[in-house]
Homo-oligomer: A and B are copies of this chain.
Amino acid sequence: MKVGFIGLGKMGEGMADSLIRAGHELTVYNRTASRADALVAKGAVLAADPAEACGGEVVITMVADDAALENVAFGERGILANLGEGAVHISASTISVALSQRLRDEHAKLNQHFVSSPVFGRPQVAAAGQLNVLVAGAADPVRRVMPLLEAMGQKVWPMGAEPHEANLVKLSGNFLILAAVEALAETIALLSKAGVDKHAFVDMMTNSLFASPIYKIYGPLLAQEKYEPPGFVAHLGLKDIRLALAAGESLRVPLPLGSLLRDKFLTLLASGGENLDVVALGRVAAEQSGQ
């Protein structure tokens, strides 16, 4: 398929690479063009702006947040103004429910399709084409883009006919991750102050009751106080919690654990932790207990 790909950060690059390996024709765009070099060497065409990436049947966006997606979606050289009728915009970014709903509506007015397809996994998982890929949208466009989603992921998880449903599931998944980090942060603060070996605790938990990828990744990082380099950076952790809370507010669903996480992140960012990994919530728990 002829596919445009917009957003070549650590995640996007690996995802685009998976598509090339699967034999698709890619036109790629990134604000900083040099990040496209490796993909171009593998046959991708470089676009000068989002519009030039909209010539095919599908355009995929993988950018940092709502503002970044608005930048490439709207305006004269943006996706909406340049995508063909019947073509599909797949949004893989972690964005708000509200923006997802707006894009669905705006694309529909132009007889374009909007499919939401956020992903779970870290950069090396993306590079290996082994992401967990959510998808939500109307049945026909979802069916058409399925080969692309399958090329990027080890598994594709359908989440409903409304694109924003996949966004809410993605936000909920990140909520579960951050809740697990906070729970580990608090228990490690307690055990450390009591003189218990936190490494033994994490080793025990992550090899028995909590033997899952998330705990195996974050548990040791917390015990080691390894806050850099960031895999899941703190300011994006705060952003995700904010989006979950905003969805909760419009639906009238309180999320007190989300409120707690928000307050902890604000303390982390207030003390210079903006660009640390989210496991630096462990530093906040240590400081608030005088350690």
- Kindly state whether residue A252 has any CB partner on chain B within 8 Å: yes
Cα distance, A268 to B182, chains bound together (Å): 20
Interfacial chain B residues near A186, Cβ < 8 Å: 175, 253, 255-258
A168 touches B196 (CB 8 A): yes
- Whether B210 pairs with A214 at a CB distance below 8 angstroms is yes
Report the bound CA distance from A262 to B263 in whole Å: 13
Interface size counted on chain A using CB atoms at 8 A:
74
Question: A41: CB under 8 A from chain B?
Answer: no
List chain B residues, Cβ under 8 A from A251. 190, 193-194, 289
Residue A180 at the B interface, CB < 8 A?
yes
Residues from chain B with a CB closer than 8 A to the CB of A211 are: 212-213
Q: Which residues of chain A have a CB within 8 Å of any CB of chain B?
A: 97, 120, 132, 134, 155, 157-160, 162, 164-165, 168-169, 172-173, 175-177, 179-180, 182-184, 186-187, 189-191, 193-197, 200-201, 204-205, 208-215, 242, 244, 247-249, 251-260, 262-264, 266-267, 269-272, 288-291
